[in-house]
A and B are shown apart, each in its own frame.
Chain A
Amino acid sequence: MTTLVQKLSSVLTKDKEVVEVKTKPYSNPYLTGIGLGLVLLAAFVIMGRGLGASGAMSTLVAVGVNTVAPEHTQSNPFYSEYLGDGTTNPLKDWLVFEVLGVLAGGFISGSLAGRVKKGIEKGPNITSKKRLLYAFVGGSLMGIGAKLARGCTSGQALTGGALLNLGSWAFMMMVFAGGYAAAYFLRRQWL
């Protein structure tokens, strides 16, 4: 615990000695998978529900649109579902708090391993500008796909997968199918 606090504070204050610490390699994928599976199991046992990510972003979008054009969101059942009946703040939502935790957890893990570094993840044959554009376009498609499928990789594939949900397994197979089908055309970005 003390080393965690020390490392976090040194990352925040940009202490050179620790920031330049050698980046640790990623963990064994099978052990990581067991860890992630236990987190998911804990969510099932404690809450009776699984993990998610796109739902929190949907709430943010609905709240944002509602701030700008409240009449517009009231007439649209997609937005109004995320806004609730108006008795509680829509941001007081389980998935919103969970995703804030993801942000914190990712930062803690990255800090401990010396992996928090400003930068852009990309292959060697693409410019940063193009990569950022691709990230935005890919994200947009993902947003539309996740809403159509009623969840993303976390909410459908991982959670529904463990619950043996038929729709989730069909969804997961199609994610891999779509990814592998499109990969050839995007190889310049990554290879």
Chain B
Amino acid sequence: MNAPFYKFGLFNTDVSLIFAFIIGIGFGFALERGGFGSARILAAQFYFSNMRVLKVMFTAIVTAMLGLYYLSVIGFVDLSLIYISETYILPQVIGGLILGIGFVIGGYCPGTSVVSFATGKLDGLMYILGVMFGIFIFGEIFPFITDFYYSTNMGSVTLPQFFHLSYGMVVFLVVVMAVGAFALAEWSEKKFAHRNPENQL
């Protein structure tokens, strides 16, 4: 049996929607368990007092990355069939900056706002409405920024290709980087424990 299953035609689009719902449940469950339904905890990331965002995100990235890497090494998963979005470096850099600023102002990102709303938070609902308003604004100005939106296209390019390193080497470097980031996170949480919202619950 070969993976990804959907790409090998093991089930049709309608069945894939059932998988979408089940995978979504796992996603939402994990986000809520991790404290991501709380804007105070998410925002505390940017004041160094609660580093859950960094810890959970980098652990998840490392877990999925290692899993995928080893599953492809043993020939179970065909890496080339996994969808990688193309790089448009300038719009993505600017988009990331705007998104980061929006994160501190609003306290959520789109996924975590859904979890926050699911657990009864009104600011989560307002945030979702805000995201939809922002997307509407983007849709309306899209005809005027189309050139910029499609600029600096580099195609589908991964870090191993860009830095001319082997896939396994980049996987290793990301793990090292994550461990370093975890050590820094633990240190700063201790230093700023007095303003960690989790300690005030």
Contacts and interface: CB of A to CB of B under 8 A. Distances in A.
A136 B34 contact: no
Interface string A160-191: 11111111111111111111111100110111
B30 interface: yes
Given A39-B23, A142-B109, A178 B97 contact: yes
A41 interface: yes
Interface residues of B, number: 130
A175 B55 contact: no
A157 B57 contact: yes
A46 interface: yes
Q: Which of B98, B117, B121, B161 has the most CB of A within 10 A?
A: B98
Contacts of A105: 24-32, 115, 118
Interface string B55-84: 111111111110110010000010001111
Interface string A15-37: 00000000101110110111111
A172 B95 CA distance: 10
A99 B67 CA distance: 24
Contacts of A172: 96
Contacts of A162: 60-61, 64-65, 68
Contacts of B31: 36, 102, 105-106
B55 A115 contact: no
Q: Is the interface of A mostly helix, strand, loop or mixed?
A: helix
A103 interface: yes
Interface in A36-59: 36-51, 53-54, 57-58
A100 B17 CA distance: 11
Interface in B142-201: 142-143, 146, 149, 154, 156-162, 167, 170-171, 174, 182, 195, 197-198, 201
Contacts of A173: 96
Contact of B63 (A33, A48, A53, A118): A33
A96 B123 CA distance: 21
Interface residues of A, number: 123
Interface of A: 23, 25-27, 29-30, 32-51, 53-54, 57-58, 60-62, 64-65, 76-79, 92, 94-110, 113, 115-123, 131-132, 134-158, 160-183, 186-187, 189-191
Closest 8 CB pairs of A and B: A101-B24, A138-B106, A143-B134, A139-B130, A33-B59, A178-B100, A37-B63, A105-B28
Given A106-B28, A146-B131, 12 more contacts: A29-B52, A30-B56, A54-B131, A57-B132, A105-B24, A105-B26, A116-B120, A146-B135, A149-B99, A152-B110, A164-B158, A164-B171
